Amino acid sequence: MDFAKNRGRLLSVIITGVIISLLVFSGPAQAFILGFSIPDPDVNKGEKIYLDAQINVELVDNDLDYVQLFLDGPGPFDVSCKFFEDGTIKEGCMGLNISSVDASGNPGCPGGYDYSYSYACKKKLRYNITLDSSKYIAGKYLSELSIKSGNISLTTAKQTIEIRANPKSLAGCSLRGKAGELVIDEESWGNRNSLSFYVPLKNADKGSGSLTSQFGRKRFSYSFNIKEVLENDANNTVMVILIETGKKNSELNGDALIFFDKQNKKVKVWGNNFVLDDVDVTFTRNC
């Protein structure tokens, strides 16, 4: 009977030892909790937007590789902002100011570990992020926050930001232009280009236009529909267009942006895989 009891106790000790060994040799489990809030996500262009980002992490290594804020805007316009754990900008971050307001946790974390069951360096990070909307095109943006540490990454749910410009009506606007330089997939197509669009007086139709180009034996002609006028004042017009593609026309694709500089009478068209820049406006009416 005593032998059976001793054998049972010995077996319990062995099992406990194996469990502790697994905890020690398996290394730390990394944990990530992150989120951000936007108290006022709907502003007029020129106003500031404030974001409060909070990150709780348990890391094998002392530092995150980086934190990233990504803003997916109208057409091909987007902004990526990568910054280090202390708030120093790594790359991008147009119109954004990053301020680290809290960096607490286990001090030191020698060798990347604290001596808890998780063997992880625990940190609480918080950032105040200020967006200067005057640097951005008016429109809606989907924003998301992500972190990268080694081969692990985590991303928050998307939140909507809207920058309003209250554009004046473009009803009756007609424009024609030519020349400029067209680049498609980093290949120059030269300056034999023409562009035109028209916005009818009735609101039932937002307007349409065409873009043609010729380079050597290559030639294409695209039609497009105006989806939305984002900005329109005495100096500039910015609109989103949808380019119609087909079997014969596949060089350009998706949404694009048209920028009309009224003072210098120049137009720029910016798409996902192309840029038509410095187009000379030859005719304009009611724009």
Of residues 180, 175, 204, the one with CA closest to residue 192:
180
So what's the pLDDT on residue 154? 87
pLDDT < 50 stretches in the chain: 1, 3-5, 7-8, 10-29, 110-118
Q: What is the pLDDT of residues 89-103, one digit of tens each?
A: 999 999 999 999 877
Q: Which residue has the tokens 């498609």?
A: 184
- By DSSP bridging, strand 193-198 and strand 181-184 are unpaired
So what's the pLDDT on residue 21? 36
So what's the pLDDT on residue 115? 42
Residue 285, classed as helix, strand or coil, is strand
Q: Are 112 and 129 in contact (CB under 8 A)?
A: no
Question: Residues near 171 by Cβ (< 8 Å), separated by ≥ 6?
Answer: 199, 200, 201, 202, 203, 286
Of residues 245, 240, 244, the one with CA closest to residue 269:
240
So what's the pLDDT on residue 217? 83
The average confidence (pLDDT) of the chain is 83
Cα→Cα distances 77→51, 203, 209, 227, 261, Å: 20, 26, 21, 15, 18
Indicate the pTM of the whole model: 0.79
Q: Are 177 and 197 in contact (CB under 8 A)?
A: no
Of residues 232, 224, 38, the one with CA closest to residue 139:
232
So what's the pLDDT on residue 215? 87
Half-sphere exposure of 284 (CA within 13 A, CB side): 17
